[in-house]
A and B are shown apart, each in its own frame.
Chain A
């Protein structure tokens, strides 16, 4: 009886495991099928380096360079904001803050991670966007910069939580050893703690970036949705994700435009895959030590 129950549970777990693999493979398969069909008709190079995204004009032009640049600009901007703030917050929580403050901060960060991105986008639209417009004296606040700020908000909890883990798992003997040699607290943090935690911190950054690149709703609301090549971070941009979300509903199933959106998805997938893979490399390195 006991034994057969074991067997049933084992089979169930096996089926669930296989199912998730099957789903992933199916999604990939679909993405690749539609994407490659599009590449065959339009050409990969023309797609990636094309400067104009006019999917519904005659003749249509499917150049996603402006979309890629839009995504990159917003993501890089978000990282420039989120990485220093995230790492410093993690350091503050794990090394400097007294216990009471630390607990409050940690729960706040966790709370921040739980805010739905649509809410962040919405709040950003009514606060950050007008602020950016006024401070920099722009014709519109709906810019890559405003998007970067809001995305940074979303990446910070990831970066803080994982970096803080990495920093806290640095053996205390390292710190003690350095302090006993006469190093100051700050020297110890910079040269020993940060250095030993670096693989974990880099993984945290990568996962933060991963979240930022894949984000859709908030950027769609805030970045201005203009599919042209941006001249600066204060230009409106449109990201790859926003393009897919905005246009999927208007396409003819199986048509060129429809397939082009799958091709964008494929490009996006390759980018996030590279980012996650890099993060795994660093996390793996940490574990093997």
Chain B
């Protein structure tokens, strides 16, 4: 068990108001760690701290440290951190360009393409890994905004894969999707964990139990409990956890 991410005493604030309190949590290499908890419990704040998306928000401040492979992420250059830690948002919004350009956009900006001829390979591989290739291979040059919601979400996964990150953060990736599309996204997550480390924030408790290796339960900015998914769902240690996963909460 290698720890990919170590979070030490992390507290986060918006306008000085504490929304995440002295969090200590590790993410193991090649696992899917799901984070569950009621609304406003700080799940998104946690994710957006891991790739420093929240640094853009001037009302946000934090204390504590986060290590990626023993390097403090707050000492890294933001762009190189985000290349290593990709993030998928709840609302899948492709960039306003073609499917092909969406995927090649980031590799180009990051200078990952050494030769023109690699482009097609990168696009094909990313789409295959996101199990989208068969559906779009004949219309790579059509606009990405004209795809179905499920396809857009998988395109957003593909464009993250194209920069070959180490960690992928999912923030409620299936909240707007139908069961079939959800199943497809879950399928590709299980596939992806061979190569990547995944943190999945989800409002869907069943989804956490289906795909994740470990589950963490957040409540009002605090980590209540973290354990192997199989164990947490069968015999949670805390009463609050049990209430939440059995749907008796609030």
Contact = CB atoms under 8 A, between A and B. Distances in A.
Interface string A161-194: 0000000000101101111111110010001100
Contacts of A196: 96
A33 interface: no
B82 A179 contact: yes
A177 B89 contact: yes
Given A178-B105, A191-B105, A192-B95, A184 B89 contact: no
B87 A180 contact: yes
B86 A181 contact: yes
B109 A173 contact: no
A195 interface: yes
9 residue pairs, one from A and one from B, having the closest CB atoms: A181-B106, A182-B83, A173-B93, A182-B82, A180-B87, A183-B109, A182-B79, A187-B109, A196-B96
Interface residues of B, number: 24
Interface in B71-121: 79-80, 82-83, 86-87, 89, 91, 93-97, 105-106, 109-110
Contacts of B91: 173
Given A192-B95, A195-B96, A181 B89 contact: no
B79 A178 contact: no
Contact of B51 (A173, A180, A192): A180
Contacts of A181: 82-83, 86, 105-106, 109-110, 159-160, 163
A181 B112 CA distance: 12
Nearest to A170: B96
Interface string A193-222: 001100000000000000000000000000
Given A174-B95, A177-B89, A192-B96, 15 more contacts: A171-B93, A174-B93, A174-B96, A177-B93, A177-B94, A178-B105, A178-B106, A178-B109, A180-B53, A180-B82, A180-B87, A181-B86, A183-B79, A183-B110, A196-B96
Contact of B109 (A177, A180, A182): A182
A95 to B, nearest CB: 11
Nearest to B102: A177
B156 interface: yes
A191 B93 contact: no
A121 B159 CA distance: 53
Contacts of B106: 178, 181-183
A182 B163 contact: yes
Contacts, number: 60
Contacts of A184: 79, 109
Q: How large is the interface on A (under 10, 10 to 19, 20 to 34, 35 or more residues)?
A: 10 to 19
Interface string B155-179: 0100110010000000000000000
Interface in A79-138: none
14 contacts: A174-B96, A176-B53, A180-B53, A180-B82, A180-B87, A181-B83, A181-B86, A181-B106, A181-B109, A182-B110, A182-B163, A183-B106, A183-B109, A187-B109
Which one of A171, A174, A181, A192 has the highest number of Cβ atoms from chain B below 10 Å of its Cβ? A181
Contacts of A174: 93, 95-96
Contacts of B180: none
B234 interface: no
Nearest to B101: A191
Interface in B133-191: 156, 159-160, 163
Contacts of A191: 105, 109
B203 to A, nearest CB: 19
B1 interface: no
Nearest to A188: B109
A178 to B, nearest CB: 7
Contacts of A192: 95-96
A176 B82 contact: no
Contacts of B105: 178, 181, 183, 191
A183 B80 CA distance: 9
A178 B95 contact: yes
A181 B164 CA distance: 10
A138 B72 CA distance: 63
A90 B109 CA distance: 24
A173 B86 CA distance: 15
A179 B48 CA distance: 12
Contacts of A176: 53, 89
Contacts of B93: 171, 173-174, 177
Contacts of B86: 180-181
Contacts of A182: 79-80, 82-83, 106, 109-110, 163
Contacts of A187: 109
Contacts of B89: 173, 176-177, 180
